[in-house]
Chains A and B, each alone.
Chain A
Amino acid sequence: MAKYTLKRFASALVTILFVICVTFLLINSIPGGPWTSDKNPSKATVEALNEKYGLNKPPIVQLGKYLENLAKGDLGVSLKMQKNRPVAEIILEKFPVSAGIGFFALLWSLIAGIFLGSLAALKRGTWADSLIRVVCTVGVSMPSFVIASLLLTAFTGKDGTGGVFPVIFDFSLGFKSYILPCFALGLYSMCYIARQTRASMLDELSKDYIRTARAMGLSSFTVVFSQALKNAVIPVITFMGTDIALVFCGGFVVETVFSVPGLGRYFVQSIQNRDYPVILGTTVFLAAFIILMNFLADVLYKAVDPRIELTKGDR
């Protein structure tokens, strides 16, 4: 187990490094550099700026410098949106908001998803099963921005502020303003998890060892929640890695729609404004975060299922 964990961690680090390098080189390959968009500065100005930010050295050297700074926690400064403000500082300010929404979204999607999926599998063929299946099939087909927008339409009062649920995110409103964004963000995941749980639970319940458990006189409750669930949940754990990525990226849209002052919305704005250091820094940060979460999901997977080996094979 320890060996597995170590190998997976090393793998994660390699991937993060790879992403950093690729991202950096990509950003650097944009023709024209970060200065050409608005004011068309003179050649001398451009050269001076390049000198100041070290942009006139060969890419590999720049990469090296970037990595060196990274190790020190310096992600450069914003060039457009908040002039000269350190990117790292911006990230630290905005990320907790996104993380909060993301976390609650994931939590509710996981709990509701597993519960509904198991319920649907147990009550197979009844109206409860059909209802859950229909809702989840539809839910999986709706992009998060659609849901977010529809919710916005539904709950927007005539005067622009929220009716029952607030549609503009406001810390002072406390818990209430989390409701709509978290719901919209988590809906796709919940539906996916519910479908997956139902399918794998049904699959489980037809397995030979469940038949053995029943044949030996174990109660239905024990069979489902002790014997079957542990196995059925494995594909869901596999999904959690991808899910985290989805939730965070879905966060871009949900934050935009509900005006949440989070990192996702900031990232989108930085793309629209072409604030390269911010783009680079945020990408690196989010990528690293997601890859680490994937790593944790892998470890959890191994803890639950003692059978798997190191390579993912053809799962």
Chain B
Amino acid sequence: MNVGEGSKLIEVKDLRVSFFTPEGEIKAVDGISYALDHGEVMGIVGESGAGKSVGAYAIMGLIGAPGRVLGGEILFEGEDVLRFGKKRMRAFRGGEVSMIFQDPKTSLNPVFTVGNQLRAVYRAHNRGFSTAEAYRRVAGMLELAGISDAEKRMKQYPHELSGGLLQRVMIAMALICSPKLLIADEPTNSLDVTVQAQILELIERLRRETGMGVLFITHDLGAVAKLCDTVSVMYAGAIVEQGTVDDIFYAPAHPYTLGLLRSVPDRENNLTRRLATIEGAPADSLRLPAGCPFAPRCESCMSICLLRRPPFVELSEKHGSACWLCVRNRIAGGEEETPHE
């Protein structure tokens, strides 16, 4: 594998991750594949427990017992991340790929000051810098993340800062070593709505300025529409649909995607219409049915759906879906029939 070969920033191929619990094997990620170009923003959407975060953790090498990566490849600029040794992985994490997490209040160590923690990260990747230089770099990073009076903030403890500020600190920490890829795992989940918008703007601005790629994990379709170039929709550990933002929003091919889009309350047009939901509860990962995992809740469920898992069908160059409906439509003579409205 030559470094730099191929234009893709990151390519995930048929990744499989399972957790072996006393109650049985949970197939958190069961064969997913996607690819990201440099500077591209991909959204990964799905319900809680769909396996969105697990895939990202696999990239970062953070899967620990009782979980295990069972197979597949993760190619970062051509190198298989899954084969990294410990030292290489440490340099990789935070240096080439950074991750920010959902709840900033618990994601920062409460007994160290903010500046201290940022400095520790910087030091871990850059030896031989004096304390003063590290200090300046940290302050600069905090300002870049939109934190005014950075000097004062550096000396404060996490419990003294608000959620929005803390998330900015996290972003500063993630970007302090100029990574090429940022993974954002539901970064706005625990924040107020106004603050959410600010954080999203920040991420977008930083992406423009640094040219880094972003993997944006969320269940907020609105954020996806604003921020992302491509989208992968996940359900029960599998990618059920994948495509550009336009593909997904204007030509959804999978019943689940359709259900998600429909369940967003539509204030402009239909104040009187009943709130649409997807019937049933999210799949129990311990007891997945044979066949398509979405079948029990699908309005277009067919006999074959209960028996066999659907293959992933390419609908156009960037758009694909794993659904028997697509197979049926193709076999029936090439006409694209969208799943019934």
Contact = CB atoms under 8 A, between A and B. Distances in A.
B103 A208 contact: yes
A160 interface: no
Nearest to B122: A216
Interface in A226-283: 226-227, 230-231
A217 B107 contact: no
Contact of B124 (A209, A219, A304): A219
Contacts of A219: 90, 124
Contacts of B90: 217-219
A208 B93 contact: no
Given A209-B110, A216-B173, A306-B110, 5 more contacts: A209-B108, A217-B95, A219-B90, A222-B124, A306-B157
Q: How large is the interface on A (under 10, 10 to 19, 20 to 34, 35 or more residues)?
A: 20 to 34
Interface of A: 125, 207-220, 222, 226-227, 230-231, 304-307
A308 to B, nearest CB: 11
A217 B62 contact: no
21 contacts: A208-B101, A208-B106, A208-B107, A209-B109, A212-B173, A215-B93, A216-B121, A216-B173, A216-B174, A217-B90, A217-B92, A218-B90, A218-B94, A218-B121, A218-B124, A222-B120, A222-B124, A230-B111, A230-B112, A304-B111, A307-B157
A307 B159 contact: yes
Scoring B65, B94, B103, B157 by chain A CB atoms within 10 A of each residue's CB, the highest score goes to B94
Question: Which 5 interchain pairs have the tightest Cβ spacing?
Answer: A217-B94, A216-B94, A217-B93, A208-B106, A209-B109
Nearest to A306: B157
Contacts of A226: 120
Contacts of A216: 93-94, 98, 121, 124, 173-174
B99 interface: yes
Contacts of A305: 110-111
Interface string B173-187: 110010000000000
Contacts of A214: 62, 93
Contacts of B106: 207-209
A140 to B, nearest CB: 26
